[in-house]
Every structure is written in C-alpha cells, then in structure tokens.
Copies of this chain bind each other. A is one copy, B any other.
Amino acid sequence: MDERVREHAEVLVDWSARVEAGDDVVVSVAEGAHELGVAVAEALGERGATVTTVYGSSELSRAYLKGVEAGTDGDVDAGDFDSDPAVDRALFEAADAYLRIGGGRNTTATADVDRSTRQAYAKARQGVREARMDTDWVSTVHPTRSLAQQAGMAYEEYRDFVYDAVLRDWESLADEMARLKAILDAGEEVRIVTERDGAPDTDVTMSIAGRTAVNSAASVAYDSHNLPSGEVFTAPYDTAGEVFFDVPMTIDATRVRNVHLVFEDGAVVDFAAGAGEDALASVLDTDPGARRLGELGVGMNRGIDRVTDSILFDEKMGDTVHLAVGRAYDACLPDGESGTESAVHVDMIADVSERSSVTVDGEVVQRDGVFRWEDGFER
C-alpha cells in the first residue's frame, strides 16, 4: 500500500473526525475506495473505535432507483419511498462519527435515472440526511481512475494531486486561516477587483457586517467537514457590481465556462456565460434566493494548484475566491437570523493570483495572490 493512503487515513481519523476510543464510527466506502477503506479500518481498530462499514456504491443506488421506477408506474414521487427508513435512521442516530470515502468507478453511474426519481429520493431522505449531519461527519475521496478521468489527468498524476491537497500541515494552515477569519469577522464590506485582458473585469462589493466566518480547516473541531478543505467562508449580502468567474465548472452535468454576473441591490440582474448559459439560467431561476449570494469563500489550500472539476477540491484552491448563489450556511449567521434561503447552492470560482485584490473595509487583504501577512505582499 502507498504510504500516503495510510497517512490519508490518519489525517481523516485523527485530525478531521477526532475519533477517540469507544467511538462508534460508520464508514461509507465507495466502489473504488477499498484501499483507503482498509487503511481507515486499521486506524479505527488502533484507536479503539468500533466500525460499521457501509457500501457507498453508485451502481447499487442506480439499480435500486431503477427498481423503484419499474415497481411503480414509472412516475416516482417522494411518497414512493419510506420517509423514515428505520435502519438508516437507527444507524446514524447511534453513530458518533460518519466518514464518507468517495471514489467511484464512474462519476456518471446514475445518469440514466430520471431526475424526478432522484429528486423524490433526496426529498424522502431528508430525515436521514439530518441524522447524518448530526454526527461528526467528514467527507473525503480516494483517488480513482474515474476521478482522474473527470479531472482530465493521468492516474498517477491525479494521485499526486489528491495527496498534495490532503496531506497538508493542517495545524499551521488553520492558524493562517484564523488570521483571515478574524479580519472577516471584524469587517463590514468586502471588495474584490480583478483586471484581465480580453475579459470583463471584476469589481464587486458585498456586506459582511454581523456575519461570522468559518475557518474550514478540514476538521469537525473547526465545523469543517471536508477533507481536503482549506477555505475561509462567510455569508455576504447587499452585493453590487460585476464578477467574472474564469474557473470552469460543471452544473448538473453541463460544462459551464466564463460566467459573468451583474449584481444590483444584492441580486443578479444580468448574466452571461461562455458555455452552458442555459444551465446557469436554470440555476438562477430556481427561486428568488438563487439570484442572491449565499457564500463568499477564499481558497487557501495551495496544495490544490489546478482545476479538477470537483468542487471538493476546486473551491479550496489557493489564490482563488468563490461566490455561491443560493443558500447560506447557518454557521455564518447570527443566532435566529436567516440568510439567503434557496433550494440551490452553486459555487463559482475566480482566479485572484494575478492583477487582483481582495479588500476589507478599504484595506487590501490579498493582492495578486499574496496575503497581507506573507512575504512579498505589496500594500
């Protein structure tokens, strides 16, 4: 076994999930994630935890949903599923931690299941999802050929990429991210400016007054549930100006490139995309919240240095910022206050490594990819 698989397991169990002796841990292993599953099982045994392993197979999910379609008139709604599935609920209610190890053999394994069937299933599973979120859950991926293919990379190359992203000095990154969190927590207005040849410029401002930033350091101890992580995010409002997102993305299986959004009074009033504009329009038309920002995130994981068409990695890429239209995270909101509400949350990413600045209350925090506290920062 590649020693990095073992290290990945240790980061997941110790840094991310903070597993202790006696914890009851549910591990979900995707079809291609056997090897990391083995390393995680060994680490959990060593820590004195109890482990139950779930098989997170997309092909089994597809088969089950196809079976439901065949067993009904084919017109599936949420009522065709048990909204309180006893086993899954019991499983997560009894669990202290849930470790989801993604990494399938085909990222489009459920492509031929009707969208309405998938949505009905997701709706019926809301209670199970909540029980799962109540555990110390962490989501990671084992590098598979299928994910390498999605990233447009060779397998060996993709493995190096994943381990560079996952095997960080998390303690030190958490300390660095704490600096940005402190600035955002105290700040009232963020302005992002970029200049580019042959593309619209970005110049956008948003309010963050009263909002709390999350130091997403890949650990439940930081309210962070992704491995890798490495971003600081908050919930902005009152957005005005325009943004150009130059990092490609996939929305509902459609490739979307070069998104341009124009905001007035907090809402998107105009938009365009170099590719996939229909998919973008469909997102923005979901509900009123889908035209407002739910998130401003600053990617600070410099182990991630390229786009791989996986939001788990892309949004944490060093020297990028991302804005999400749609739902805001509760963790960023004052108690009892609600932020943007929406059925969607779609992240869009902009490169800020060159000819860019991120400013909080008039003070530049990051210029051309260099933070205020780093060598080479120009005021």
- Please report A residues at the B interface, Cβ cutoff 8 Å: 22, 24-26, 29, 31, 34, 37-39, 41-48, 50-55, 57, 59-61, 63-71, 80-82, 85-91, 93-95
Contacts and interface: CB of A to CB of B under 8 A. Distances in A.
A55 B70 CA distance: 26
A63 B86 contact: no
Contacts of A45: 63-71
Given A34-B57, A38-B63, A43-B67, 19 more contacts: A34-B60, A41-B67, A45-B64, A45-B65, A45-B66, A45-B68, A45-B71, A46-B71, A47-B71, A48-B80, A50-B82, A50-B86, A50-B87, A50-B88, A52-B87, A53-B60, A87-B94, A90-B90, A90-B93
Contact of A63 (B42, B91, B95): B42
Contacts of A57: 29, 34, 37-38, 53
Contacts of A68: 45-46, 48
6 contacts: A42-B64, A44-B67, A50-B82, A51-B64, A87-B95, A91-B91
Contacts of A46: 67-68, 70-71
B63 A24 contact: no
Nearest to A69: B45
Contacts of A86: 24, 50, 94-95
A68 B85 CA distance: 32
A65 B89 CA distance: 27
Contacts of A90: 90-91, 93-94
Given A44-B64, A63-B39, A52 B54 contact: yes
A59 B1 CA distance: 13
Contacts of A66: 42, 45
A43 to B, nearest CB: 6
Which has the most chain B C-beta neighbours within 10 Å: A38, A47, A55? A55
A55 B67 contact: no
Given A34-B59, A70-B45, A71-B45, A26 B64 contact: no
Main secondary structure of the interface of A (DSSP, over half): helix
Which has the most chain B C-beta neighbours within 10 Å: A29, A37, A41, A61? A41
Contacts of A31: 34
Contacts of A89: 94
Contacts of A93: 90
Contacts of A91: 52, 87, 90-91, 94
A42 B59 contact: no
A48 B95 CA distance: 26
Contacts of A44: 64, 67
Contacts of A24: 82, 85-87
Contacts of A80: 48
A22 B64 CA distance: 14
A70 B6 CA distance: 14
Contact of A55 (B37, B48, B50, B88): B37
Nearest to A91: B91
Contacts of A48: 68, 71, 80
Nearest to A21: B71
Contact of A52 (B25, B37, B59, B88): B88
Contact of A64 (B41, B60, B70, B82): B41
A31 B53 CA distance: 12
A24 B59 CA distance: 20
Nearest to A53: B55
Contacts of A61: 41
A47 B39 CA distance: 36
